[in-house]
A and B are shown apart, each in its own frame.
Chain A
């Protein structure tokens, strides 16, 4: 069993739809939970991060963490074609927060 499970997709949605991206994890040592967006042939960029269970909102994006279920989600409201990318969940852990475990990434396509 992988430490982080993420459905690779691809996920195709019409423009304006609400997108739900999810990851499950098994390591209780994970401390920070992050979502990265990666456009094709580019480096990932940080979208959101959370430390504790609950919701965190930033514009059209909401990150949700449920530590009891070891489940994190990223919601995208009013999805746009420019949101088409691969979304990677990532968990930070270890002394000095030097360890990062990535999900496999979910490829999202928003169709105009």
Chain B
């Protein structure tokens, strides 16, 4: 199946710094990429949807100035957590569509665990 690579898998940063997480589709062109946040023992919470070359669409309650999403190419999307605070500590997962057996089939990255000290 299609592969989505997410990097880094784990990052620790100091409060007030910015962190960038990359999401790459390795063997297909991702028409759309999604970013999720997952708290312990909870389901995936969609943060934003991005299409290559256009601005991301953020879900209600997600601060777009804090969570910057760039989808510069059909194989790469980045999520930058700006001025991170401890409450931003979470598991962030990306997914992509475009390489599946049915429209909208999602392929997920391995996730990135962010810890803000």
Give every chain A residue within 8 A of B44 (Cβ-Cβ).
Answer: 44, 88, 102
Q: Judging by beta carbons under 8 Å apart, are B105 and A8 in contact?
A: no
Our pick among A32, A41, A92, A96 for the contact of B113 (Cβ within 8 Å) is: A41
11 residue pairs A–B, Cβ–Cβ below 8 Å? A32-B104, A46-B105, A46-B107, A51-B102, A96-B104, A97-B103, A98-B32, A98-B97, A98-B104, A104-B43, A105-B43
Q: Judging by beta carbons under 8 Å apart, are A42 and B110 in contact?
A: yes
- The A/B interface has a contact count, at CB < 8 Å, of 54
Cα separation A43 to B107 with both chains bound (whole Å): 9
Asked whether A43 and B110 contact (CB < 8 A) given A92-B104, A96-B103, A98-B104, the answer is: yes
Chain A: number of interface residues, binned into ranges: 20 to 34
Interface positions, chain A 18-75, Cβ under 8 Å from B, are 32, 36, 41-46, 49, 51
Q: Judging by beta carbons under 8 Å apart, are A42 and B104 in contact?
A: no
Q: Which residue of A lies closest to B31 (CB)?
A: A96
Chain B: number of interface residues, binned into ranges: 20 to 34
Interface positions, chain B 13-65, Cβ under 8 Å from A, are 32, 34, 41-44, 46, 49
B residues apposed to A, CB below 8 Å: 1, 4, 6, 32, 34, 41-44, 46, 49, 91, 93, 95, 97, 101-111, 113
Cα separation A46 to B6 with both chains bound (whole Å): 17
Q: Judging by beta carbons under 8 Å apart, are B41 and A8 in contact?
A: yes
Give every chain B residue within 8 A of A90 (Cβ-Cβ).
Answer: 106
Q: Which residue of B lies closest to A97 (CB)?
A: B104
Give every chain B residue within 8 A of A17 (Cβ-Cβ).
Answer: none
Give every chain B residue within 8 A of A100 (Cβ-Cβ).
Answer: 34, 46, 104, 106
| Known A46-B1, A49-B101, A105-B43; 4 more pairs at CB < 8 Å | A36-B108, A92-B104, A96-B103, A107-B41
